[in-house]
Amino acid sequence: MTATVTTPPQRTPAQRLLRLARRNKLSTVGLILFGLIALAAIAAPLLSSHDPLAQNILHRLEDRSADYLLGTDVYGRDTWARILFGLRVSLLIGLISTALAMIIGSALGILAGYRGGWVDSLIMRIMDMLLAFPTLITGLFIVAVLGANFWNIVLAITVTILPKFARVARAPTIALKEREFVEAARALGYSDVRIMAVHIAPNVLGEVIVLASLWAAYAIRIEAYLSFIGLGIAPPTPTLGTMIREGFEHILDSPFVSIYPGFAVLLVVLSLNLIGDGLRDAIDPKLRD
Amino acid sequence: MAGFILRRLLSTIPTLLGVLTIVFVMIRVAPGDPALAILGDNASQEALDAFRERMGLNDPMWVQYLDFLRGIARGSLGESMISGTPVLTSILEVLPYTLELALGAVFFGVVIGTPLGIMAALKRNGWLDYLLRVVSLVGLSFPAFLTAILLILWLAIDWRLFPVISTPTGGIGDRLYNLFLPALSLGLIMVAYVMRTARSAMLDVLGEDYIRTARAKGAPMRRLFLHHALRNALIPIVTVIGLYFGLMIGNAVLTEIIFNRPGLGKLIVLALNQRDYSTLQGLMVFSAFLVVMVNLLTDIAYGLVDPRVKLK
CATH number of the structural domain spanning residue B210: 1.10.3720.10
Q: Count the neighbouring beta carbons within 10 Å of the beta carbon of residue B292.
A: 20
Minimum-distance CB partner of B268 among A26, A140, A289: A140
Are residues B104 and B80 both part of a single domain?
no
**Among B87, B102, B118, which residue terminates a domain?**
B87
Per-residue confidence (pLDDT) for residue B38, from 0 to 100? 67
Q: Report the distance separating Cα B124 and Cα B118, nearest Å.
A: 10
Please list the residues that pair with A72 across neighbouring strands. Answer: A78
Q: Report the distance separating Cα A39 and Cα A48, nearest Å.
A: 13
Are residues B278 and B180 both part of a single domain?
yes
Residues 183-242 of A with CB under 8 A from B: 217, 221, 224-225, 228-231
Q: Does A155 touch chain B (CB under 8 A)?
A: no
**Amino acid, res. A58:** L
**Amino acid, res. B166:** S
B153 CA to chain A: closest CA distance, Å? 8
Contact B272 A244 (CB under 8 A): no
Contact A259 B146 (CB under 8 A): yes
Are residues B269 and B153 both part of a single domain?
yes
**Among B55, B87, B119, which residue terminates a domain?**
B87
Average pLDDT over residues A87-96: 94
Per-residue confidence (pLDDT) for residue B159, from 0 to 100? 79
Per-residue confidence (pLDDT) for residue B158, from 0 to 100? 80
Is residue A54 situated within a structural domain? no
Count of structural domains, chain A: 1
Q: Per residue in A47-60, pLDDT tens?
A: 887 778 778 877 77
User: End-to-end CA distance of chain A, in Å?
Assistant: 39
Are residues B153 and B239 both part of a single domain?
yes
Q: Per residue in A221-238, pLDDT tens?
A: 999 999 998 888 888 888
Minimum-distance CB partner of A134 among B124, B246, B273: B246
Average pLDDT over residues B20-24: 86
Contact B153 A26 (CB under 8 A): no
Q: Report the distance separating Cα A269 and Cα B131, nearest Å.
A: 19
Are residues B30 and B134 both part of a single domain?
no
Q: Exposed e or buried b for every residue in B237-268, given b needs 16+ CB within 10 A?
A: bbbbbbbbbbbbbbbbbbbbbbbebbbbbbbb
Domain that holds residue A272: 22-40+77-287
Q: How high does pLDDT run on average in chain B?
A: 82
Alpha helices in chain B (DSSP H): 2-29, 34-39, 45-55, 61-73, 87-122, 127-141, 144-151, 172-206, 209-216, 221-223, 231-243, 245-259, 264-273, 277-305, 308-311
Residue A75 has pLDDT above 70, yes or no: yes
* CATH number of domain containing A218: 1.10.3720.10
Q: How high does pLDDT run on average in chain A?
A: 85
Contacts 24+ apart (CB under 8 A), B4-12: B4/B300, B4/B303, B4/B310, B5/B300, B5/B303, B8/B296, B8/B299, B8/B300, B8/B303, B9/B296, B12/B292, B12/B293, B12/B296
Cα torsion at A43, A48, A49, A50 (round to 10°)? -110
How far does CA A196 lie from the centroid of its chain?
A: 25
Residue A220 has pLDDT above 80, yes or no: yes
Domain that holds residue B8: 2-87
Contact A262 B19 (CB under 8 A): no
Count of structural domains, chain B: 2
Residue B234 has pLDDT above 80, yes or no: no
Q: Cis bond leading into A255, ω under 30°? A: no
Contact B287 A26 (CB under 8 A): no
- Is the pLDDT higher at A289 or at B25? B25
Q: Count the neighbouring beta carbons within 10 Å of the beta carbon of residue A116.
A: 12
Is residue A247 situated within a structural domain? yes
How far does CA B79 lie from the centroid of its chain?
A: 24
Are residues B69 and B190 both part of a single domain?
no
Residue A2 pLDDT class (50, 70, 90 cuts): low
Q: Report the distance separating Cα B189 and Cα B204, nearest Å.
A: 24
Is residue A2 situated within a structural domain? no
Residue A1 has pLDDT above 60, yes or no: no
Per CB-CB distance under 8 Å, the chain B contacts of A130 are 22
Report pTM.
0.86
Q: Report the distance separating Cα B255 and Cα A222, nearest Å.
A: 14
Per-residue confidence (pLDDT) for residue A59, from 0 to 100? 75
Contacts 24+ apart (CB under 8 A), B224-232: B229/B202, B229/B205, B230/B118, B232/B201, B232/B205, B232/B208
Are residues B214 and B293 both part of a single domain?
yes
Per CB-CB distance under 8 Å, the chain B contacts of A277 are 137
Model ipTM value: 0.84
Q: Does A149 touch chain B (CB under 8 A)?
A: no
Is residue A67 situated within a structural domain? no
- Is the pLDDT higher at B117 or at A65? B117
Q: Per residue in A158-168, pLDDT tens?
A: 998 999 999 88
Contact A145 B27 (CB under 8 A): yes
Average pLDDT over residues B160-166: 78
**Among B87, B120, B135, which residue terminates a domain?**
B87
Per CB-CB distance under 8 Å, the chain B contacts of A270 are 137-138, 141
Are residues B190 and B72 both part of a single domain?
no
Q: Count the neighbouring beta carbons within 10 Å of the beta carbon of residue B164.
A: 16
Average pLDDT over residues B31-49: 72
Residue A288 has pLDDT above 50, yes or no: no
Residue A91 has pLDDT above 90, yes or no: yes
User: End-to-end CA distance of chain B, in Å?
Assistant: 13
Q: Report the distance separating Cα A227 and Cα A264, nearest Å.
A: 15
Residue B196 pLDDT class (50, 70, 90 cuts): confident
Are residues B141 and B288 both part of a single domain?
yes
